[in-house]
Amino acid sequence: MNGISNNNKNGFTIEKYLAPLLLVFSTLLGVFFSSDSSAETIAIPQFTQGHLGKYTEYFRESDREITLTEAREHFNTVPLSKGSSHSISLGIDVAPVWMTFTVDNTTDMTEFYRLSLETPWIDYIDTWLIKDGEVINHFAGGDAYAFEKRPMQYRFYAFEHEYPPGQTQVIIRVETKGPMALPVYFSSVKAAISRDISSGYQFGALYGIMIALALYNLVLFVFIRQAEYGLYCLYLLGFVLNSLSYTGQLHTIITADYGVYFQDWLDIFLMITYSVTGLLFARTLLKTKEYAPKLDRLVLRIALYIPLGMLTGFVFDQLIFSAILSFLLNSSFVFLFIILGIKALQAKKPFAVLFILSSVTAALCIAISTLAVAGFLVPYNDYTFKAIEFGMAFEAILLASILARQFRVAQIDKRIAEKYARTDPLTELNNRRGFKELTQPIFEHIVANQREVTIVIIDIDNFKNVNDIYGHSMGDIVLKSVADAITDSCRQGDISARWGGEEFIVFLAETSEAQGLMQAEKIRRKIEAIKIDDIHTQLSLTASFGISGTVNGCFNQATLDAQSMDNMLRNADKALYIAKQNGKNQVKIFC
Ligand SMILES: Nc1nc2c(ncn2[C@@H]2O[C@H](COP(=O)(O)OP(=O)(O)OP(=O)(O)O)[C@@H](O)[C@H]2O)c(=O)[nH]1
């Protein structure tokens, strides 16, 4: 393909949008630091693989499209800029760029090499190979071309060529509206294949972790019905789709030619899926509505109105308008995440520190990739280009750990709540509910096997006097002391509970009424022996006991049945009444 098309395409990605300012700086730096000594040739096969920035000289078209012949003349006559060690980065929406470098095959056989330009959003790329002054090959590609029309069906612009012995001049013309970041990579085809395999494993591992996490959270959402799990699942899937899109991989899957702008529309919508779900997830996780309602509303509005605006742009076919909106959303996304974290920290929300740590790490990694793509401060290489993915994966995993810890806290809260639903908070004995739940299955077992069982009801004597004379808090101390005395006197397997105000109950399994009487006597003596320093000696602390239980495995001279428990309780209560009537501080059996 030769000339310049007006149908320029824009591949919009995170880097693209964060890059422009930095690209301006890097361009200025390039102007100051570029050397006018001509670039080295690339000696093959000694050079097996690497970025070609420092081997490359380039210039930009000024006011009009120029031809290959004019460009060749320009290369020979005008002082040229030289690339940095990795990538040439010139800014956004800049004039088309011409680059050249020379490959010197030092052997007397052809050498098979792949050349690729590793930014998938470049619109038009033309490469001419010139041997002995003659054009021997021309490869036209870029994302403006239908997938099958590109020189290689690959995620970037790439082609493979057999370089003949001697020197071959390579001239590349690049035209794009997006950031002019040009990491040209040159490698033997063998090295290119192993690099592809290794990057395939890396992406596979990354996406594998993300998708597994997403599915796990989907399952949690389905069963627990908590919105944050569902939103986190969408956030992770958004991350994977966004990454697939800006690394060019998605476009090797969706290869049908849906028109010039299809890839751009797809990219910007995938990009905001990630940020919208991220913001919705963050506000739900941090419960921002409770302590920062204005910020919460702002986040909600951003997450709703920007996609709506972009949809409107789509309906009216205004790509640039929608792209600017997606740029706004994605550039504010990282900052909003950090602000949400800081607000949560101020509100002393649990996990706020972890949240900030994760979002700041992600922001730093995005900055590293952006600077690398811009060719400013950070060298461009596979690691710096992928820092953005590392950062986001790190963020995703830290957020998962927050969710997991939140889940654990909820579990503990639930367990505590369940415990307190069955426990009397003052004495820490079982309450009625706890008592019934614990004794029910044991009683059923006793009935089924016709075993012995006895129930003891205990009521503190003249307890009202304690409250009246020493105050309610002293009454509480007494209740607690009596509870402790009961617990201390109980054997393993006995189940005690606070039955009501100053009334307690003990369930004695495998214990006949006669044995229960002895056990009750033991508790009575223990209560009688309680010493509370602040209670004056004139007030004796005693309790009365009512007992009902089995005699030779029978209750009321009949075999035990399901109703026996209620009857036993009733009888023990009657026995307790008799104990009170008879002068208190004694144990009575209902006869
Ligand atoms: N301090 C305190 N007092 C309680 C609590 N629950 C119930 N009470 C009090 O326990 C007292 C029970 O009084 P009564 O039912 O008249 O029984 P009593 O004074 O023990 O008399 P007898 O049972 O006949 O020996 C009341 O004064 C209640 O207010 C509690 O949790 N703490």
pLDDT tens-digit profile of 242-279?
888 888 898 888 888 887 778 778 888 988 888 899 99
pLDDT at 183: 86
Residue 384: what are its φ and ψ, rounded to 5°? -70, -35
What is the CATH number assigned to the segment(s) 14-193?
Answer: 2.60.40.2380
pLDDT tens-digit profile of 329-356?
877 888 898 999 999 999 998 889 999 9
| Pair of tokens at residue 196 | 């592809």
Low-confidence stretches of the chain (pLDDT beneath 70)? 1-38, 84-87, 91-93, 178-179, 373-376, 534-539
| CATH architecture, range 432-589 | 2-Layer Sandwich (3.30)
Do residues 181 and 83 lie in contact, with contact meaning Cβ atoms separated by under 8 Å?
no
pLDDT at 132: 94
Query: 504 CA to middle of ligand 1, Å?
Result: 12
Query: 507 CA to middle of ligand 1, Å?
Result: 22
Query: 390 CA to middle of ligand 1, Å?
Result: 66
pLDDT at 166: 96
Q: What's the pTM value of the predicted model, to 2 decimals? A: 0.65
Do residues 541 and 440 lie in contact, with contact meaning Cβ atoms separated by under 8 Å?
no
Can you name the CATH fold of 197-414? Rhopdopsin 7-helix transmembrane proteins (1.20.1070)
- Cβ–ligand 1 contact at 472 (below 6 Å): yes
Degrees to nearest 5, angle at CA 198 with 193 and 200: 90
Residue 467 alpha carbon, nearest atom of ligand 1: 1
Interatomic CA distance for residues 550 and 237, integer angstroms: 65
Q: Return the SS3 of 297.
A: helix
pLDDT at 196: 93
- ipTM attached to this prediction: 0.93
Structural domain spans, the chain: 14-193, 197-414, 432-589
Interatomic CA distance for residues 548 and 455, integer angstroms: 5
Ligand 1, pocket-test mutation among 426, 457, 463, 476, most atoms within 8 A of CB:
463
